[in-house]
Chain A
Amino acid sequence: MHSTISRRDALLATGFGGLLMPASLSHAQPARPTEIKVGVVTILSGPASVFGVPGRNAAEMLFEEINRAGGIGGVPVRAIFVDEGPGVEHTLGEIRRLVQNERVDLLLSSISSGSCLACTPVAEELKKPVLLWDCGTQRIFEERSYEYAFRTQANATPEVLAPLLYTLKRKPNLRSVAVINQDYAWGRDSWEIWKTGMDALRPGVRVAAELFPRFNSTDFSTEITRLLALRPEVIFTTSWGGELDTFIKQAAERRLFERSTLVMPLAESSLERVGHALPPGHFIGARGDHWHLHPNPADPAKLRGFVENYRRRFNAWPIYPTHHMYQAISAMRTAYAKALETTGGAWPSDAQLARAFHGLEFDSLTSRIKIRPDGQGLEPQLIGTTVRSGDLPFPVMNDMVIYPPELITAPVGQKSVDWLKTLTPDFLNRAPG
């Protein structure tokens, strides 16, 4: 049997090896590309496209602005959008296609927590940097560690804990709470966070009703009747999109807002659509420290410019997913600049780009966000109370409080629910508001 390798075999093996070996596995510094390809996973179909389409709009607008300014490191950026609406299996296939066929340089993924939970390990396996640009589940970095995955915004824990603190500060004698959430992971998880935090911070508050209507419900009449009859002091709902709009309109018509205070951490995204059906005096959030009428942006001109450009182009106010997209793209730009500086101007490999995200600080439209060692972004949370606006045909927020992320995010290495159980009523005294 021949055991020697001919010169032709060696050449062939080297050639095929070079072709087949992904750039991320080779130690050679990649050449400067002709474009930076970014795979953007967002929801373009189904009910959650109310968030996915504004996210895509923001990405298109921002990438055009980047390219007009000369690109990143002189290289133009191109987005390849994929729809995660058809479900997790479809999205997983799209992630592999983006990485292996389209050979994207970076992934921005995704809106659905289910997609994030399924796709992040795949991106890690493919050694492709991925920015979790909108999904909320806190489980990602609490259940596993990643080298290539980073979240450029907060997670569900601060997004729910902030409105809870806001509510407890304003209702020192709170006795009863009811919940009406969509019957899926986010609806159930957000209630668990609220309930765990509430039991720790204000033990003894009675849960009057736990209602989880079918996801995509179009009628909440029965639930509203139940809530009207029970008269809980506070009603918590993390519903969103058309379902939140429907609930607000039906509840307003039947005077539910006169009997209970509604706490709606995602209602910023519905304000324009529901208009003054949402009356003054109810607590709302925006899934982060962003809003087009933010009370204290670090750079007012930058926020104003973004809002005006978005309105001019899409004839709508930018809602929270557009801010989350801005944050992801800002993080991407900052990380490339950092990586290029580290490599002395040579184009960074995937691993070098991923390393640049560790501990990265970047600008949002209102403040600065830091990525923790575990990959989780530290973003403040803005909560306010609805009030009628003289100029706008929809309610706005006043009595706004911005909660610092270090206070309301579970520390690195701790699971949110376990951490929430350790909070004491004294924690409330340390919170602003």
Chain B
Amino acid sequence: MAEWFADNGLLLGLALLDGLAYAALVFMVAVGLNLVFGVLRILNVAHGSLFAIGGYTAASLGAFAAARGLPDWMALPVLLLAAVIVGGIAGPLIERFLLRRIYSEEPVLQLLVTFALFMILEDVQKLVWGVQPLHHDAAMRWLGTVDVPFGTDVIPFTAYQLYVLPGVALITLVGLAWFLRRTLTGRVIVAVTTDREAATAMGIDAKKIFLLTFTFGAGLAALGGALASPTAALVPGVGAGTMVLSFAVVATAGLGQVEGAAIAALMIGLGRSIAVYFLPEAEVLVPYIIMVGVLLVRPNGLFGVTETRRI
């Protein structure tokens, strides 16, 4: 074992750096999905579309800012602005005019409705942004690269990948934990998540909490897309791929668990990276192997709790 680490320790270090950035992006999307499910009890399939629209909006705004001759550093706040715009517009619209009508329906119907919304939003993306790949990497280029020592060699990493992605994910995790535990609104959200009936009986306005949570979740999905846009080309279908991985993270974490989503994203991100280095054939499988492995041992996910069935 010690011999293996001596031979592969440096490679393992590189894999950890890569895995961290990947896990950060996955976490940003999965945590929003998990939060929405925890409060609204709706598995929002259209969450992937919000990721894609966030990315497209960030790329369009970035291109607009560049065309207007704004300084390069503006590329970074533009990402946040895109997430606020998409979350602030699409979130309330979807919650108010669609989801509110189906809260009391069967889960399978809710799933079908959000799936239909996903299909509609996929076409909306094609109508607005076309089918050609869209890429605006000003934020990544502005930050430049960092040379990481690798034996006698160096490996260039982008500063965006090394610092921005994990940094934003960490801020989101800490901020979300603080918000949910230390603020009144956050505690109300936790109360609704834990026991919706008891919370509403205590006078909590569930409608307001649902609207707030969904808007926040939509904003997180859009922020994930916006953060991915400097490194990835946006193409039709980009939301679907992200969605599948997010489901794996949410299932591994346990539905409704914020910290769980962070740990599951980290496990999946690092697992995938290590596979690329040491078992490339398993790269695609690793996230799902981790998910199945966790669910076999803990059917409700890492941090999921068994609910008492109320009659």
A contact set with B: CB distance below 8 Å: 44-47, 49-50, 52-53, 183, 209-214, 216-219, 221-223, 225-226, 228-229, 231, 241-243, 245-246, 249-250, 253-255, 273-274, 316
Contacts and interface: CB of A to CB of B under 8 A. Distances in A.
A52 B284 CA distance: 27
B241 A253 contact: no
B18 interface: yes
Choose among B157, B280, B284 the residue with the greatest number of A CB atoms under 10 Å from its CB: B280
Contacts of A216: 237-238, 240-241
B242 A218 contact: yes
A242 B137 contact: no
Interface in B154-183: 155-158, 161
Report, as a range, how many residues of chain B touch the other chain.
35 or more
B133 interface: yes
B64 interface: no
A209 B280 CA distance: 9
A242 B235 contact: yes
Nearest to A243: B233
Contacts of B231: 218-219, 221, 246, 249-250
B233 A212 contact: no
B61 interface: no
Contacts, number: 132
Contacts of B141: 253
A211 B284 CA distance: 11
B291 to A, nearest CB: 15
B47 interface: no
A50 B237 contact: no
Contacts of B25: 219
Contact of B22 (A52, A219, A228): A219
B276 A211 contact: yes
B17 A211 contact: no
A212 B280 CA distance: 7
B72 to A, nearest CB: 14
Interface in B281-311: 281, 283-284
Contact of B18 (A213, A225, A242): A225
B242 A212 contact: no
Nearest to B130: A53
A217 B131 CA distance: 17
14 contacts: A44-B131, A47-B236, A49-B131, A49-B236, A50-B235, A216-B237, A216-B241, A218-B242, A221-B161, A228-B156, A245-B233, A250-B158, A253-B137, A255-B145
Given A209-B280, A214-B284, A219-B25, A245 B135 contact: yes
Nearest to A209: B280
Contacts of B265: none
Contact of B17 (A225, A245, A316): A225
A255 B283 CA distance: 24
A348 B234 CA distance: 46
Nearest to B153: A229
Contact of A253 (B126, B145, B228, B281): B145
A222 B155 contact: no
B92 interface: no
Contacts of A229: 11, 14, 150, 153, 155
A222 B18 contact: yes
A246 B242 contact: no
B302 to A, nearest CB: 23
B38 interface: no
A249 B233 contact: yes
Contact of A218 (B130, B157, B238, B280): B238
Contacts of A254: 145, 156-158
A183 B238 CA distance: 16
A212 B276 CA distance: 9
A214 B288 CA distance: 13
Given A212-B283, A225-B18, A50 B157 contact: no
Closest 9 CB pairs of A and B: A242-B235, A218-B232, A242-B133, A242-B233, A222-B18, A49-B131, A245-B233, A216-B241, A246-B233
Contacts of B22: 219, 221-222
Nearest to B276: A222
Interface string B115-137: 00000001000100011110101
